[in-house]
């Protein structure tokens, strides 16, 4: 694999290997303390972050490597108008691996196309957040022992919650999984996620607006913050932000082994009183995130080294999408959060999904709701 843009760039076997490596790192940290000596990680964060950026940096330092960091769009030449493409081209000359967060969907895909080193998507708009998914998967694996046959509930902002999209994509590959999607009408799961990872695979799912009605049926409950930064209207955000608050009282109606996950940061959606509940796993997720990011850095650097020695280097970075992508100037992406219109002279890349719908290769949104539209 070359880049990690979408969690599906990793096979289920590779995810199993990363989990095994993470477990070994925790058991024998001394084996890894020099593993990335003389290697440099660049963290390019065009959006705020606590966990992702600092756990990536802590991960690289614990592997004996070094870190260069750009923590905010205003502290780099992006503030002068430099493109993502040029930034990636330049930074890949300074670092061995890049972790990028960006508010525009598909920005890490653009970076990957212009980088000579592996690019990791550390969150792109409301699209994907694959390394949070690695943290989530290690947590589920440790708490439940396996991914098969789990009923997983997602609650809150399923529209803009990029961690939800990536975790659904990841879990959709395991036998017997069921999803319960709990959200207000306005924050329902985007079509591309439902289409590609649930309906296409025939996974049973329920959509509901009531956490109270669903909580007792779940093996895992994934709470999410309503993503204030993605809303066009302050009033709309204010109206929806406290739709779901997980309290001790609600936890009394959950199963005795129902684990509670949250990518964090939380605002108000889980009462701090729930933190003492042994089923609350969200702080464990943050620690598991560092272990999985260590395992991922090791894997990507090792894959690159193997390729440089003439070994097999899978294209990765977009998985199946990469192989079917074509340029079309007769359609346009309808997603206002897509990177495509923000960068100069990007090729208008599209692909057809399994149903034949034309989708933007940067952000996966259907072109004008699936209709071909003349520019
Ligand atoms: N979960 C997560 O992405 O947290 P940060 O925004 O703090 O990185």
Taking only the tens place, the pLDDT of each residue in 51-85 is 999 999 999 999 999 999 997 878 788 888 899 99
Q: In the beta sheet, which residues pair with residue 366?
A: 359
Ligand 1 atom closest to residue 286's alpha carbon, by position in its atom list? 1
Q: What is the pLDDT of residue 352?
A: 87
Nearest CA to ligand 1 atom 5: 49
**Which of the following is catalytic: 38, 80, 175, 354?**
80
Catalytic residue list contains 323: no
- Atom nearest to 101 CA in ligand 1: 8
Instruction: Give residue 202 CA to ligand 1 midpoint distance, Å.
Output: 31
In the reported structure, the alpha carbon of residue 266 is separated from the centroid of ligand 1 by a whole-number distance in angstroms of 10
Distance, in Å, from the CA atom of 101 to the CA atom of 108, rounded to the nearest integer, reads 7
Q: Could you tell me the distance, in angstroms and rounded to a whole number, from the CA of residue 348 to the centre of ligand 1?
A: 30
For residue 373, the model assigns a pLDDT of 45
pLDDT tens per residue across span 295-344: 999 999 999 998 888 755 454 444 555 667 899 888 888 899 999 999 88
**Atom of ligand 1 minimally distant from the CA of 47:** 6
Residues within a 6 A CB radius of ligand 1: 49-52, 123, 132, 263-265
Closest atom of ligand 1 to 52 CA is 8
Q: Omega before 265 cis (within 30°)?
A: yes
Which pLDDT does position 72 carry in this prediction?
80
- If one residue of 52, 124, 163 were mutated to test the ligand 1 pocket, choosing by the most ligand atoms within 8 A of its CB, it would be 52
Task: State the pLDDT at residue 315.
Answer: 46
Q: What is the mean pLDDT of the chain?
A: 92
Confidence (pLDDT) at 86: 96
Q: Catalytic: 80?
A: yes
Which is the catalytic residue, given 2, 39, 101, 293?
Answer: 101
- Residue among 45, 49, 120, 228 to mutate when testing ligand 1 (max atoms within 8 A of CB): 49
Low-confidence ranges of the chain (pLDDT < 70): 1, 311-323, 369-375
Q: What pLDDT is recorded for position 317?
A: 46
Catalytic residue from among 21, 43, 52, 243: 52
Which residue among 53, 129, 194, 337 is the active-site one? Answer: 129
Q: Which residues of 162-183 are buried (b: 16+ CB within 10 A; e: fewer)?
A: bbbbbbbbbbbebeebbbbbbb
The question of whether 51 is a catalytic residue gets the answer yes
Record the tokens describing residue 99, joined without a space.
């972790």
From the CA of 48, give the closest atom in ligand 1.
6
Closest-lying ligand 1 atom to the alpha carbon of residue 53 = 8
- pLDDT of 105: 96
Ligand 1 centroid to Cα of residue 328, in Å, is 35
Q: Ligand 1 atom 4: the closest Cα is on which residue?
A: 51
Which of 53, 54, 55, 123 for mutating ligand 1's site (highest number of atoms within 8 Å of CB)? 123
Residue 155 Cα to ligand 1 midpoint, Å, equals 17
Predicted TM-score (pTM) of this structure: 0.93
* Annotation marks residue 162 as catalytic: no
Per-residue pLDDT at 312: 53
């Amino acid at each position: 694999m070359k880049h990690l843009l979408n969690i599906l760039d990793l096979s289920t076997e590779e995810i199993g290997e990363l989990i095994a490596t993470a477990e070994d790192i925790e058991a024998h940290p001394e084996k890894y303390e020099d593993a990335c000596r003389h290697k440099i990680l660049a963290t390019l964060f065009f959006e705020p972050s606590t966990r992702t950026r600092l756990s990536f940096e802590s991960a690289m330092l614990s592997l004996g490597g070094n870190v260069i960091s750009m923590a905010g769009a205003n502290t780099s030449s992006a503030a002068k108008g430099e493109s993502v493409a040029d930034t990636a081209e330049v930074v890949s000359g300074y670092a061995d691996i890049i972790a990028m967060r960006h508010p525009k969907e598909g920005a890490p895909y653009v970076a990957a196309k212009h980088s000579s080193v592996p690019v990791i998507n550390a969150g792109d708009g409301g699209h994907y957040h694959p390394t949070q998914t690695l943290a989530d998967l290690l947590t589920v694996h440790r708490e439940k022992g396996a991914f098969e046959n789990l009923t997983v509930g997602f609650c809150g902002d399923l529209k803009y919650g990029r961690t939800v999209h990536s975790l659904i994509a990841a879990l959709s590959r395991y036998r017997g999984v069921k999803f319960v999607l709990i959200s207000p009408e306005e924050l329902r799961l985007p079509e591309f996620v439902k289409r590609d990872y649930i309906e296409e695979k025939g996974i049973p799912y329920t959509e509901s607006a009531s956490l109270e009605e669903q909580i007792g049926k779940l093996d895992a409950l994934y709470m999410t913050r309503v993503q204030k930064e993605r809303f066009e209207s302050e009033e709309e955000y204010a109206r929806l932000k406290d739709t779901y608050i997980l309290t001790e009282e609600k936890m009394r109606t959950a199963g005795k082994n129902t684990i509670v996950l949250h990518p964090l940061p939380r605002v108000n959606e889980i009462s701090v009183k729930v933190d003492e509940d042994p089923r609350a796993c969200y702080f464990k997720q943050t620690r598991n995130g560092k272990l999985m990011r260590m395992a991922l850095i090791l894997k990507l650097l090792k894959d690159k080294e193997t390729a440089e020695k003439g070994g097999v280097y899978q294209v990765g970075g977009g998985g199946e999408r990469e192989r079917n992508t074509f340029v079309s100037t007769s359609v346009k992406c309808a997603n206002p959060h897509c990177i495509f219109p923000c960068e100069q002279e990007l090729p208008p890349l599209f692909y057809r999904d399994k149903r034949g719908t034309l989708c933007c290769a940067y952000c996966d949104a259907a072109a004008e709701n699936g209709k071909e539209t003349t520019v």
